[in-house]
Amino acid sequence: MNKSQEVYRVIDANLNRLNEGLRVVEEYFRFVTEEVDVVDECKSFRHRVGEWLKTRSSMTKLSFLSSRDTSRDCLSEKLSLSEKKRLDLEDVLDASFQRVKESLRVLEEYIKILDVADESQAGFFQKIRFDWYAFEKKVKIKFFSFKMFQREETSKVEMLAVGSVALDDILSVAGSVERVMGGSCVHFSLAANLFFPVHLVGVVGDDYPQEHLDFLTDKGIGIGALEKKEGKSFYWRGRYVEDFSSVETLALDLGVFETFDPSLSGKYLSPKYLFLANIDPVLQMKILNQVERPHLVVMDTMNHWIEDSLRELWEVIKKVDVLILNDGEARLLSGQNDLLKAAEELITKGPKYLIIKRGENGSIFLDNEGNFFSIPAYPVKNVIDTTGAGDSFAGAFMGYVAFCDQISLEVFKKAMAYASCVASFTVQGFGVQGLANIEEKDILERFLEFKRMSTF
């Protein structure tokens, strides 16, 4: 086969690939969402390609066809793991959108060889590709609702989060706020609830504002296991340095949280997904001993427990599936300064999966089979407050995993990407303000932008 025939072969293969991808997307909107306008828009892309093909000479069309030789395709019998299995309808659509974009780019480049004297031919496919980018963004934001694919609602508690519920005073270069909602359990729950229903377990004092409780219930977060006791709520006052690399605790009063002793009953005893926030490992173990073995247990910790309750902490770590902690905590817990060595040391101590949060530098993942990957942080220009960013990262991660109802590397990768996006909203407001008013379309729009800037 000469060079010209090879070019025809590439173009023929990608024209077929393009039309296949367009058809898969079109059929979804025809039979699943039954959106006539969107179906018509999908058809218009196919028709534009068809009209272009009509302008080709009979000899050119014959050259496309005669160059086709699937028996020589070195990948014709090989499918990647992602091609063999689709997670859900979103995954099917995502793969087809990507197939269309890739095919258009290939056509745009190889057409230049055939039409050296006619630059408009490559420009034709470039225009379609840019139009497809805009179409993808529009329909995904409109139709890729997490609730669209969610299982039927049930009275059963499927996700349970145990941790602190607090009142915070926060000072940063962006300003200050007083007595705003805080606590690891609150930030986690608000983020997780964007993807999957969550119930929180914690304690507040009788000074805790009713408007804060109403806010949680209005968001659909279950607070039936949130205990209210006589006394003061957990209170923290902190001031961040200018670049948010550290925070100074100006005041701390544990209040009723000091005697927090969770005792679960009824529907709270059998969660499918359990998150143990960075509370005393003795309490974490008590929760584990109360519940039936969940499908997935995720835990967080902090320097205080690493330094003061190390033996109890290791006992908990051995019983969980996912350990999430920041880079400083990972180094302290492992005794290793090199972060990769720290990760390798920690994964041998019990958890199946390890996620190390690295703030503005993203996060890394390692499992006990040696699989490793890194996810960048979504870039944010104007950071207001980083309080709760790590907890909201964990919440979004676990919420997305629960939403998919599947434990796999592919799900974990996408969950960490969504978590990065949600955490970026958190730091754009004081306390929970950054998460208070975001909607699914905001998350999806940011996720698509994040995916585009991270793919190369």
Closest CA to 202 of 194, 210, 211, 213: 213
Query: Given this model, what pLDDT does residue 415 score?
Result: 95
Count of Cβ atoms closer than 10 Å to residue 132 Cβ = 20
Query: Given this model, what pLDDT does residue 118 score?
Result: 59
Query: Given this model, what pLDDT does residue 65 score?
Result: 76
Torsion angles phi and psi, residue 202, rounded to 5: -170, -165
pLDDT-derived band at 146, boundaries 50, 70, 90: low
Q: Provide Rg for the chain, Cα atoms.
A: 26
Condensed to tens digits (0 to 9), the pLDDT of residues 212-247 reads 999 999 999 999 999 999 999 999 999 999 999 899
State what percent of residues in the chain have pLDDT above 90. Answer: 70
Q: What are residue 364's DSSP bridge partners?
A: 356, 374
Instruction: Check residue 57 and report its DSSP letter.
Output: -
User: What six digits make up the tokens of 68?
Assistant: 């086709």
Cα dihedral 220, 221, 227, 231 sign: negative
pLDDT-derived band at 14, boundaries 50, 70, 90: very high
Cα separation, 120 vs 12, in Å, equals 19
In the predicted structure, residue 1 carries a pLDDT above the cut 60: no
In the predicted structure, residue 131 carries a pLDDT above the cut 90: yes
pLDDT-derived band at 75, boundaries 50, 70, 90: low
User: What six digits make up the tokens of 149?
Assistant: 């694919």
Query: Given this model, what pLDDT does residue 56 score?
Result: 83
Say whether 282 sits in a helix, a strand or coil. Answer: helix
Q: What is the mean pLDDT of residues 282-308?
A: 96
Say whether 406 sits in a helix, a strand or coil. Answer: coil
In the predicted structure, residue 3 carries a pLDDT above the cut 80: no
Sheet holding 166-172, edge to edge: 175-182, 166-172, 234-240, 247-253
Query: Given this model, what pLDDT does residue 151 score?
Result: 43
Residue located via tokens 């974490």? 284
Torsion angles phi and psi, residue 221, rounded to 5: -85, 130
Residues 6+ apart with CB under 8 A from 168: 177, 179, 180, 181, 182, 183, 235, 236, 237, 238, 387, 431
DSSP string, 364-403: EEEETT--EEEEPPPP-SS----TTHHHHHHHHHHHHHHH
Query: Given this model, what pLDDT does residue 76 score?
Result: 54
Say whether 150 sits in a helix, a strand or coil. Answer: coil
Cα separation, 186 vs 199, in Å, equals 10
The angle, 0 to 180 degrees and rounded to 10, between the axes of the packed helices 389-404 and 184-192 is 40
Residue 335 Ramachandran class (φ > 0 left, ψ -120 to 50 alpha, else beta): left
Length of the chain: 456
> Is the distance from CB of 296 to CB of 401 less than 8 angstroms?
yes
Mean pLDDT of the chain: 89
Say whether 435 sits in a helix, a strand or coil. Answer: helix
Query: Given this model, what pLDDT does residue 268 score?
Result: 96
State what percent of residues in the chain have pLDDT above 70. Answer: 91
Query: Given this model, what pLDDT does residue 143 score?
Result: 67
User: What six digits make up the tokens of 77?
Assistant: 């019998």
Query: Given this model, what pLDDT does residue 85 score?
Result: 67
User: What six digits make up the tokens of 443?
Assistant: 């998350």
pLDDT-derived band at 148, boundaries 50, 70, 90: very low
- How far out from the chain centre does Cα 156 lie? 24
DSSP string, 181-228: EE-HHHHHHHHHTTTS--EEEEEEETTS-HHHHHHHHHTT-EEEEEEE
Query: Given this model, what pLDDT does residue 72 score?
Result: 67
pLDDT-derived band at 83, boundaries 50, 70, 90: low
What pTM, to 2 d.p., does this model score? Answer: 0.75
In the predicted structure, residue 152 carries a pLDDT above the cut 60: no
> What's the longest Cα–Cα distance across the chain?
87
Considering the segment(s) 154-454 as one domain, its CATH architecture is 3-Layer(aba) Sandwich (3.40)
pLDDT-derived band at 81, boundaries 50, 70, 90: very low
User: Which range, of 155-159, 395-399, 416-420, 422-426, averages the lowest pLDDT?
Assistant: 155-159
Instruction: Check residue 351 and report its DSSP letter.
Output: -
Cα separation, 142 vs 212, in Å, equals 30
Domain boundaries of the chain, sorted by first residue: 3-144, 154-454
State in Å, rounded, how far the first CA of the chain is from the last one: 31
Cα separation, 427 vs 447, in Å, equals 16
User: Which range, of 12-16, 195-199, 451-455, averages the lowest pLDDT?
Assistant: 451-455
| Apex 194 CA angle, 225 and 359, nearest 5 | 100
